[in-house]
Amino acid sequence: MTGKDHARAALVIVDVQNDFCPGGALGVRGGDEIVPILNEYASRFSQAGLPVYATRDWHPEQTTHFQKWGGLWPPHCVAGTSGAAFHSELKLPRQTIVISKGTQPEGDSYSTFHGWDYDGLPFVDSLRRHGVRHLYIGGLATDYCVLFSTLDALSQGFAVTVLLDAVRGIDRKPGDSERALGKMKEAGADTATLEFIHAKLAEVSGANPAKASRH
């Protein structure tokens, strides 16, 4: 990948919230293990002058996403609760753009493309505002929000690289995460790890004068 391509890249950290980490209402096994790795990604993207996004489920108390109202899941990430907060050790750069999704009482809204920033700007419009064409995606969970975010990004013409060392899955059925990775690759996503990203960002560090602003 060329420096020009990387200058239009952004990091997307998906749903690294307390309720999705061990001990949470819908804890992903090993979900907290990716936090230090994501911190490294966030630091390196920020230092290279590239946007960093952090998404969060931000559900109402009553939603069809929850089992009580016909959904798959126990209550989790209810807006304003400690369970909905980002993991305490997740070190987001000051200019991180937070995207909230799942805010409506109907629908699952797994994809980041169903979310908005603090000003109510849809995620896709925020990407376009910052000239982003390539998303580097990590977070929770591989087989749901990472999967749906990746597929939506690809369908809208974005390039996607899934960060293999910075994702973990729920695996409601054994093998769901591996199957999800297969679907993402079949749809056109690439994969990478921190070592690869470090080398690529070193090529373009400081090449992008535009800085993402927090909304």
Q: Mind listing the domains of the chain with CATH numbers?
A: 3-204 (3.40.50.850)
Active-site residue 77, yes or no?
A: no
What is the model's pLDDT at position 195?
Answer: 87
- Say how many CA atoms lie within 13 Å of 182 toward its Cβ: 5
Distance from C-alpha of 208 to C-alpha of 194, rounded to nearest angstrom: 20
145 is catalytic: yes
21 as an active site residue: the answer is no
* pLDDT (0 to 100) of residue 198: 74
Tokens for 59, please give them. 């559900």
Confidence (pLDDT) at 6: 55
The catalytic position among 15, 108, 117, 152 is 15
pLDDT at res. 36: 98
Separation between Cα atoms, residue 181 and residue 162, nearest integer Å: 9
Can you read off the two tokens belonging to residue 15? 């749903």
Nearest-angstrom CA–CA distance, 166 and 138: 5
Residue 212: its pLDDT value, please? 34
Mean pLDDT, each 10-residue run in order, the chain (215 residues): 62 98 96 98 94 97 94 95 98 98 94 96 96 97 98 97 97 96 98 86 50 34
User: Which entry of 32, 101, 143, 165 is annotated as an active-site residue?
Assistant: 101
Q: Is 171 left (phi over 0), alpha (psi -120 to 50) or beta?
A: left
The structure's pTM equals 0.90
Annotated active-site residue in 145, 152, 165, 200: 145
